[in-house]
Amino acid sequence: MSRGHICPKAVALKDIHEDPNRLRHPVRRLRDGWEKITWDVAFHMVEERITGIQKEHGRDAVAIYLGNPTVHNLGAMLYAPQLARALRTKNRFSATSVDQLPHHFTSWAMYGHQLLLPIPDVDHTEFFLMFGGNPIASNGSIMTSPDIKKRLGAIRSRGGRIVVVDPRRTETANVADQHIFIRPGTDALMLAAMVQTLMADGPQPGRLAEFTTGIETLGEVVAGFTPEAVAPICGVEAETIRQLTRDFAAASAGVCHGRMGVSTQAFGGLSQWLVQAINVLTGNLDRVGGSMFTKPAVEILQRLSPGRYNRWRSRVRGLPEFGGELPVSVLAEEIRTPGDGRIRALITNAGNPVLSTPDGSGLSEALDDLEFMVSIDPYINETTRHADLILPPVSPLERDHYDLVFNALAIRNYARYSKPIFPKPSDGRHDWEILSELRILLTDKFDLKNRLDAEAMHQLGTRGQLTVGLRTGPYGKGFNPFGSGLSLSKLEESPHGVDLGPLQPQLPGRLQTRNKKIALTPQLLLDDMKRLEERLAQGADEGMLLIGRRHLRSCNSWLHNSERLVRGKDRCTLMVHPDDAVRLNLADGGAARVTSNVGSLVAPVEVTDAVMAGVVSLPHGYGHGRKGVRLDVASRYAGVSVNDLTDPAEVDRLTGNAVLNGVPVAVEPASEPAPPPA
């Protein structure tokens, strides 16, 4: 699958494994430091404190947060959701609502399941149109695509075309045929204008028309969003929008794809919906070379909930849940606001929300108000330093792995199982063992059914569950001992993985909607178009806007303690366009103060025309200079946290996803220097 390509982050696993800062046993926080304790004492402490708080204040007094690494970990993916259910709390949070929640919402509304996510068939497409994504730095994110740079190059080699729409000329934009600057937060307007153009020219859904509802309705909804109407707001000329739309529609096979930059804005849900609409209206959904669905070896659609919406709302602000989770933007206020249902205890797994969620400084202060906090994490970082107890799992090289989620998001069907490189230490615990033990301890003692299920899952372990998943999957042999289908033993014999073939058309059979049809115009999304109409009526804005960015040698906040990844020139810089630098009296290499309505910070200036005028960019995941952090390397390359500037009050009102891009800021020369690079 990777064809020999090795990401620099993969090599850094050695650094994580050998890192002297990595915890190897449970620790309890004392007034003057941390104390090593046994696993038995640690588990007893969690059981006593969590059950006590829930008994006194109710189940919702305990919250759980699952960080992004959870979905990259077989054991955590199998056992963390079960722990969350055992708590029976409505205060469940994850990194989903600061990243890809609009993807899930759209797939649930249109296709019937939150994980039925269409994937770009990049190996066969003739026109790749990317909004707000940088796969060369991110590996594709919701598009598992190792060696993506060569795969993109192959599109151009066979006469295809790549167009990137982004406020920054990213690494991916540098290898594209065309890069189009767009004003941050206005993607939904440009996408609506593209849909309007398609409808005016006459949509060509092809065979999709047989099982798609709402095409005519969509035309009525976008009628006012002409290219001429949106152009002054987006900063993209009307003729550019119209020509791009027609070129895309004329391609023999094309795919429109939107990623994190599109999701983490005020119209994230609408943007992802309109991306899907473009693929449907041009007949490129479920077409070879278009946007297609995977057929993974372990069928996660059957294992995970299709998704539900608005069954309950957050206590303070009243934001709706989706898929059993509340938006993480409400976490701090739910801790700090008195009253029934206030969060008094928190469990975090593999997450660092102080650096990855809005107003990290405010959340950091809120965590100190908790009565009890336990973190499942190998490090004392910006979030876990607030914990009363840290339970560290073993190194990634001491556990097995199978990609439950990212195989289901891959550009080709394949399966690969990785054995542990090193044996687990005798006193170590896998992620799944920690999570499973906590589930058993925290499940209601009178809930016999769930207690028996918890014990059975614990006995199965990751290997047992994976064995069942593969046998019962679409390529498996069931439980016939003489069958010849895919099995765990076959994967163990194939360390490079098993190729299960290219993506194939699967609709309408793959749809999970009740009527087995694509819902092109879900009512919830139609209702939210009124908000986009209001934005259109407001016209262009003139202020400075802040966006984030990704780097190839960084992965959120995880890997900054690897010297080989962070060394070199300072990457935590504020990108500023040359025209803005002159206007604001900023010098390359100097320092700028950036201020939003929730915070202020000082960062080194990098003057570059890679960002459009009126836009500044800071990378995500830095800010390791906080007191109490035990990350020796990361602290030397501390940088500043862009999420000290993002506002938890600003969310996509439809999905609840945080607004991390298009943040209004003031920028001025700093009276003090920026933090020095190492």
| Residue 60 clears pLDDT 90, i.e. is over it | yes
Query: Which of 238, 230, 164 minimizes the C-alpha distance to 192?
Result: 230
Could you tell me the two tokens for 282? 């041009």
Q: Where are the domains of the chain?
A: 21-94+300-499, 118-292, 542-669
Tell me how many degrees the CA angle 187-143-401 measures, rounded to the nearest 5. Answer: 140
Confidence of residue 557 (pLDDT cuts 50, 70, 90): confident
pLDDT value at position 481?
66
What mean pLDDT is predicted for residues 342-358? 97
Decide the pairing of beta strands 345-349 and 62-66. Answer: parallel
pLDDT value at position 678?
47
Q: What is the pTM of this model?
A: 0.96
- The H or E element that residue 355 is part of is helix 353-356
pLDDT value at position 189?
98
Helix, strand, coil distribution of the chain in percent, nearest 5:
40, 15, 45
Could you give the 3-state DSSP secondary structure of residue 402?
A: strand
Average pLDDT, the chain: 95
What mean pLDDT is predicted for residues 70-94? 96
Give dist(CA 280, CA 274) in Å, integer.
10
Number of Cβ within a 10 Å radius of residue 290: 26
Give the rounded percent of residues in the chain with a pLDDT score beyond 90: 91
| Per-residue pLDDT tens digits for 197-223 | 999 999 999 999 999 999 999 999 999
| Per-residue pLDDT tens digits for 431-465 | 999 999 999 999 988 888 989 999 999 999 999 99
Query: Candidates 3.40.50.740, 3.20.20.220, 3.30.365.10, 3.40.47.10; correct CATH number of 21-94+300-499?
Result: 3.40.50.740
- Contact assessment for residue 462 and residue 78, using Cβ atoms and an 8 Å cutoff: yes
What DSSP string runs through 528-587? HHHHHHHHHHH----SEEEE----TT--TTTTTT-HHHH-SS----EEE-HHHHHHHT--
As a three-state string, the secondary structure of 572-606 is CCEEECHHHHHHHCCCCCCEEEEECCCCEEEEEEE
Outline where DSSP puts E strands in 67-224: 92-94, 119-120, 127-131, 161-165, 178-180, 212-213
- Classify residue 541 as exposed, middle or buried by CB count within 10 Å of its CB (0-12, 13-18, 19+): middle
Q: What is the largest CA-CA distance in the chain?
A: 75
Query: Candidates 3.40.228.10, 3.40.50.720, 3.40.50.450, 3.30.420.40; correct CATH number of 118-292?
Result: 3.40.228.10
Phi, psi of 197 (to 5 degrees): -65, -45
**At which residue do the structure tokens 């005519």 appear?**
216
Could you tell me the two tokens for 446? 């009178």
For residues 519 and 5, which has the higher predicted lDDT (pLDDT)?
519
- Contact assessment for residue 560 and residue 566, using Cβ atoms and an 8 Å cutoff: yes
pLDDT value at position 209?
98
Phi, psi of 640 (to 5 degrees): -130, 155
Give dist(CA 360, CA 643) in Å, integer.
6
pLDDT value at position 556?
86
Q: What is the dihedral of CA 318, 132, 503, 293, to 10 degrees?
A: 20
Sheet holding 161-165, edge to edge: 178-180, 161-165, 127-131, 254-258
Decide the pairing of beta strands 372-376 and 309-313. Answer: unpaired
| Residue 478 clears pLDDT 80, i.e. is over it | no
Give dist(CA 628, CA 638) in Å, integer.
13
Does the N-terminal peptide bond of residue 69 adopt cis geometry, omega within 30 degrees of 0? no
Q: What is the dihedral of CA 484, 485, 486, 490, to 10 degrees?
A: 0
- Contact assessment for residue 331 and residue 98, using Cβ atoms and an 8 Å cutoff: no
| Per-residue pLDDT tens digits for 542-556 | 899 999 999 988 888
| Residue 331 clears pLDDT 70, i.e. is over it | yes
What mean pLDDT is predicted for residues 356-382? 97
What mean pLDDT is predicted for residues 242-260? 97
| Residue 139 clears pLDDT 90, i.e. is over it | no
How far is C-alpha 416 from the geometric centre of its chain's CA atoms?
22
Q: Do domains 21-94+300-499 and 542-669 have the same CATH topology?
A: no
| Residue 479 clears pLDDT 80, i.e. is over it | no
pLDDT value at position 89?
97
Task: Write the CATH number of the domain with boundaries 542-669.
Answer: 2.40.40.20
What DSSP string runs through 224-245? T--HHHHHHHHTS-HHHHHHHH
- Contact assessment for residue 319 and residue 651, using Cβ atoms and an 8 Å cutoff: yes
| Residue 591 clears pLDDT 90, i.e. is over it | yes
